Amino acid sequence: MKALSETRSALPRSGIREIMDYSANMPDVIHLEVGEPNVNTPLHIREAAFSAMNDGFTHYTPNAGLLSLREAISGHLERQYALRVKADQIVVTAGAVNALAATVLSLVESGEEVLIPDPGWPNYEQIILSQESIPKRYKLSPDAGFVPDMADLEHAVTPNTKAIIINSPGNPTGGVLREENIKELLAFASRHDLYVISDEVYDGIVFEEKHISPLSYDTEGRVISVFGFSKNYAMTGWRVGYAVAPQRIAAIISKVLEPLISCASSVSQKAAETAISSPQDFVREMCGVYKARRDHSYKLLEEAGIKAFKPKGAFYMMIDFSDVETNGENPALALLKESGVAVAPGATFGSTAKQMIRISLATEDSKLFEGVRRICDFARKHKRK
């Protein structure tokens, strides 16, 4: 038989999924590797889905999504960020990852380069490689709050670079870009004529800072922002996200969805419409919960003398394992085997994080804090001499 696609066969696998698979049949494992809220979707959103089914919303929708949802999103963006966005600039997708993939397909040709953060979500690299484009890493500075290193960006960009992906609040870092960072990045993009793909799926989970969308400062029509419902509303399984783009780009993203998914689930879209139109009490409440978990977890690590990077947003924390000796074994795997704690290996996010691990704060308190205590015990036991 003829060979399968070499490009797709060679895609790197997420180290997070590898830890998930390895730990799947292990007893008494504390799971801190996956970024999924530990609560169910709020009742009023579930009830909206039930009503939608009974009202006949069980059919195809336009590729770009239900107009009522896109109008609700437009209203939300104006209330939240004072953004004036028309419905035809919004494309609803099957999760934010679908929006990211469709956006890259719409902008980038095979062989062109896309700048991605290091450390950064591994799916960025997978999306770009799967489309036979070229991912190029730019460093985020850990001790500066994981903001982009502009000198490294200037070194990474070439005439073949088409776009840059930025992510705030950040996964895995919890970093939050400030106004001056965003203006600097947009100036860089303008200087090199790049599109800016802004991953903003954690926009509702910000602690000390506030979320600022690059859309607010886009005067040239080069920003495409991606949002989702999974993290803010505990709707991971509903698979609804959306891209906000200049109309000419939104039209192509919508067209690209036809051969990919046709459209997002109609029932999920109606649930999302209720989520984004209703009072945002749940989002604010969970943000407070994640902040409290962050503070206590950070305190436990600090008391144990273990360096951690206190996140300003999202629900992850990076922990420095450079002083931990694991005899060459993947630190996350060694921790899992010995202490029964599943964490995300830093190396899956890029070379900057290869001596780190990432924990998810979206885990119930008792399991999270016990997991952090086990991490502290493991790090003390294996501290380099």
Assigned CATH for 43-277: 3.40.640.10
Classified as helix, coil or strand, 234 is: coil
Query: Tell me: the pLDDT tens digits for 74-89?
Result: 999 999 999 999 999 9
Query: Where in the chain is CATH 3.90.1150.10?
Result: 6-40+282-381
Q: Tell me, what amino acid is at 62? A: P
Instruction: Over range 211-239, report the average pLDDT.
Output: 97
The answer on pLDDT for 325 being more than 80 is yes
d(CA 376, CA 186): 40
Q: Write down the pLDDT at residue 329.
A: 84
* Other CB atoms within 10 Å distance of the CB of residue 159: 7
Instruction: Over range 229-245, report the average pLDDT.
Output: 98
Query: Tell me: the pLDDT tens digits for 10-36?
Result: 888 888 888 989 888 889 999 999 889
Of residues 132, 118, 108, 105, the one with CA closest to residue 6? 132
**Token output for 66:** 């239900």
**Token output for 26:** 């292990």
C-alpha triplet 98, 147, 137: angle, nearest 5°: 55
Mean pLDDT, rounded, of the chain: 96
Q: Are 94 and 271 in contact (CB under 8 A)?
A: no
d(CA 85, CA 75): 8
Query: Where in the chain is CATH 3.40.640.10?
Result: 43-277
What is the DSSP secondary structure assignment for residue 100, as one 8-state letter? H
CB-side neighbour CA atoms (13 Å) of 208: 11
Classified as helix, coil or strand, 71 is: helix
Query: Tell me: the pLDDT tens digits for 337-374?
Result: 999 999 999 999 999 999 999 999 999 999 999 999 99
The answer on pLDDT for 334 being more than 80 is yes
d(CA 316, CA 240): 22
Q: Tell me, what amino acid is at 304? A: A
Of residues 98, 49, 127, 66, the one with CA closest to residue 239? 98
H helix and E strand count, the chain: 13, 14
Lowest mean pLDDT among 10-19, 221-230, 244-253: 10-19
d(CA 385, CA 365): 33
Question: What are the backbone dihedrals phi and psi of residue 342, each rounded to the nearest 5 degrees, phi first?
Answer: -95, 120
Query: Tell me: the pLDDT tens digits for 111-130?
Result: 999 999 999 999 999 999 99
Classified as helix, coil or strand, 262 is: coil
Of residues 297, 341, 275, the one with CA closest to residue 92? 275
Of residues 85, 97, 136, the one with CA closest to residue 114? 136
Residue range 6-40+282-381 forms a domain whose CATH class is: alpha beta
Q: Which residues pair with 200 in a beta bridge?
A: none
Q: Are 121 and 348 in contact (CB under 8 A)?
A: no
Burial of 84 (0-12, 13-18, 19+ CB in 10 A): exposed
Classified as helix, coil or strand, 91 is: strand
The answer on pLDDT for 385 being more than 80 is no
Classified as helix, coil or strand, 115 is: strand
The stretches of 3-162 forming alpha helices (DSSP H) are: 6-9, 15-23, 43-54, 67-81, 96-107, 122-130, 150-156
Q: Tell me, what amino acid is at 276? A: I
| DSSP of 179-232 | HHHHHHHHHHHHHHT-EEEEE-TTTT-BSSS----GGGG-SSS-EEEEEESTTT
**pTM, whole model, 2 decimals?**
0.96
Classified as helix, coil or strand, 161 is: strand
